[in-house]
Amino acid sequence: MRKQNGFTLIELLVVIAIIALLMSILMPALQRVKLQARSVACISKLKQWGLFFSMYAGDFDGRFMGGPGTRVPNRWVSALGDYYKWDDEFTCCPNATKPWIDENGIDSGAEGHSSGAGVTMAWGFTGMSGTRSHWPKMMKGSYGINGWVLDPPPGDEAHPELGGPEYFWRGPNVAGAGYVPLFLEAQRYNGWALETDRPPTYSGELWNDDAQMGRYCLNRHDGFVGCLLLDFSARKVGLKELWTLKWHRRYNQAGPWTLGGGVMTTDWPEWMQNLKDY
């Protein structure tokens, strides 16, 4: 009799089971590689932002953007528009490109959601109305400036209840610039962090004015956030490390949420307790 060549049903099932097993082993590794690649892309993008901020300061006598009614609007989105060509993908970390609010003003509900869904989302579309009516398009983004680096005129500082004119850096030509945050991943386009700001109870918690550090304390890169510093260098910063940076001129780098200030691991919210201490 002629012999039939082929696989039996059992042999096919065994092959399928082996493939499924290999996929279950490889998929987490592939996912980690994908996330690492996005982290590298984020830092590379922040380095390019460093060039834009450097060019801007060079064009304006070593000063950054000011306040309302001054030479340029205080929002970096507009002030740097001609440098980054209003590219609303370039204003986003590769890990956070989907906006909370779309072009039609529809809110996804992810902002500040307890599931942490908003961590990997952009702050949504804005512009082309009111003081932003001159913008050429609606913009989204997932980066935010450190509000203390701005150069507002006396009496026109944002959040005067948090700090006066002497708190502002105003430009990059300062001592210790490598410890001053300039531009970071964020869930709002700006923020005025203080050493007393409490950490968010979960990653992506909606901020308020006693916790503006939470605008930047986002677990987008496995315990780290991309940060451009005032010397125009870019690197990943640990989430607990955020409290040790020099956010404004009078900022205490040994504040209550640092090892120097006596913080204990158990003082941090549960989701941050296993992160590296600084």
Residue 94 — very low, low, confident or very high, per pLDDT cuts 50/70/90? Answer: very high
Reply yes or no on whether the pLDDT at 2 is more than 70: no
Task: Name residue 99's beta-bridge partners.
Answer: 122
* Separation between Cα atoms, residue 43 and residue 26, nearest integer Å: 26
* Separation between Cα atoms, residue 272 and residue 274, nearest integer Å: 6
CB contact at 8 A, 249 and 56: no
Any idea where the domains of the chain sit in the sequence?
A: 10-272
- The pLDDT, as a whole number, for residue 242 is 98
Collapsing DSSP states into helix, strand and coil, what is residue 73? coil
Greatest distance between any 2 Cα atoms in the chain: 100
Is pTM, for the whole model, over 0.95? no
* Separation between Cα atoms, residue 86 and residue 242, nearest integer Å: 29
End-to-end CA distance of the chain: 77
> 91: alpha, beta or left, given left = phi > 0 and alpha = psi -120 to 50?
alpha
**For 99-104, what is the mean pLDDT?**
86
Q: Which of 105-119, 217-231, 251-265 has the lowest mean pLDDT?
A: 105-119
Measuring CA to CA, which residue among 100, 248, 104, 106 is closest to residue 188?
100
